[in-house]
Structure 1
Amino acid sequence: MHHRLFLTTCSAILLTLHDAAGMVIGESLSKVISSKISSRSPGSIVPRRINPNSNGDVKRFRLRRTNQSDLNAICNMLATVSVDSNHFMQRLRAKSSFNEQLSHRLQAIDVGRRKYSNFKQLNDDYSMSDLLSVNGEFKAIIMRAVSNASEPNAWEEYQFDPTTNDSRLHHVMVTMEDPTSGDVVGFCEIGYLEQMQRTSEERMNVSDDSLDIPPMAEIEDAVNFSCGDKPNYAPAILNLVVSPSHRRLGLASRLVNFAQKYTRTQLCQHDSNVKLGLYVHPDNHSAVNLYKRKGFEVIAKSEEGLLYMTV
């Protein structure tokens, strides 16, 4: 994945009660976006090629909460983008690895959301950290998700400390769906990753495109949260991928728009100093160019050679 595929702070705790269910995104056919925006992604069945001129009306895609039945298609997309088509067995192994990690994260998200909702009905003062401290089942699910992460993560550092700031538990997965066929055509995952400090590397200053996704306040049951108090961790795009059959339809651009608006309105509305970030391979030119168009700039380079970009 272009960003580190690891489960960030709570590696998949809470899909944040504000799920993106019901959001509809109008695609921009004029934007040429490669689907190879994902991190290290999956290979698989390439669905039919979409002809943008086949219908006078602009095709519309639905952005909703990710569910378990989406994972096969999502992991296929991730493996397809991350492994060359000539390496079939490597693709299969990559798909299996993605599925192992994402399924545990999604389970933690689903269980966390459900149990948190039940807790809040009993006592409105309950927080996610309270849930973590009193619910052994939930903590065990989180620990499994962390143990299946491919890289170190913040929860190992904090050793599942239940007093950690609630905002660091937030984790969201959204699926883009073709409403006509029901096919999963895109995926985005947002959580907390280490925030690298700016280096002397040349900054990439570009204009920020307008965000045309409705604010989360317009979504039913949306809840506002503020960013965490730890400056070394910040919201980040962990995975972003679009089906190879739906390239050049502006879908990747729409997913980035969602990530930016979601972060601004739900995670960092009280702290403008905390920025949405991501890790991307410098050779992934289509992804880097997309992020530049969206206002991201290179802040630093990781030890693994990945660019850390923020907006």
Structure 2
Amino acid sequence: MKVAVLGAGAMGCLFGAAFHRAGAQVTLVDVNRGHIDAINADGLEVDLRSGVERLPIAAALPNALTDKVDLVVVFTKTFHTQAALEGISAVIGEHTHLLSLQNGLGNDKRLAGFVSDERVLVGASMLPSDMVGPGRIRSHGEGYSKLYPAFGKDTSFALEVCETLTSGGLETVLDPKIHEVIWSKAIFNATMNPLCALTRRTPGFLGANPESRATIRAAVAEGIATAHANGVMLDGQPIYDLTEVSMTDHADHEPSMLQDLHAGRRTEVDALNGAIVAAAKAKGVAAPVLETLGNLVKLEEAKLADAAR
């Protein structure tokens, strides 16, 4: 299998490493030249609980790609999806599948404009991963990944992807209720990411304080009510359970929104809190906690923009 991982950040590299271990021909694609150069010079360093490995994976800037691939795994920020896929159009052929493992809602529709509907896959991963430096990532924690065709019913290629990732060390399964899984992850992220970003602390800090625990429960409850109002009848308890895992097993993990604010970057709050709150308002559901968390993150982004002027 020829695989291009579009967006070779912490999660993209984690999945690229799994495809590589399983024998796939992998190219990590990113616009960060220093990161790409480090991988090509010394390999990708992956720090796991089981030990540190250095993998000889190819890495490239988008405009360097020319050969068609079987699969593009999209890990870019949601607001970069359109431009990022346009930038690697040379690798997307008539048999290429696209898989979004991005945060937030609506990623299936963003991919649908680039390939036929039956070649769009969507998924969600609850694995932690942090960027340590150029060419170096760390993933210390357990998790799982699920995926499924976004619109079609033919699961043959999706199953091959699951088997490849599992063979490479990342357990991945097919889940026909993938849209419930995506909503669940979006609710989780819209709760935990802003709280970590706003406090500038990792999940372990949230678990040690009753104020954050109360806010977490209220935010998750709003997300569940919104999903149900929109016909997504997910079970809410696994989301509460996942917040507990985050505050214990992933206590020192820096969520992506916290990483973004530390780096002075725009966050994905619009695809998380913004999307859920919009869905809530469309159905007359109140989501004041999720909306407030989202608004506060937007203010943090505005502060960064002011400082950059």
Please indicate, yes or no, whether the TM-score normalized by the shorter chain is above 0.5.
no
- TM-score normalised by the chain length of structure 1: 0.29
Between the two structures, name the one with larger relative contact order (CA 8 Å, sep ≥ 6).
Answer: 1
Q: Choose between structure 1 and 2: higher helix proportion.
A: 2
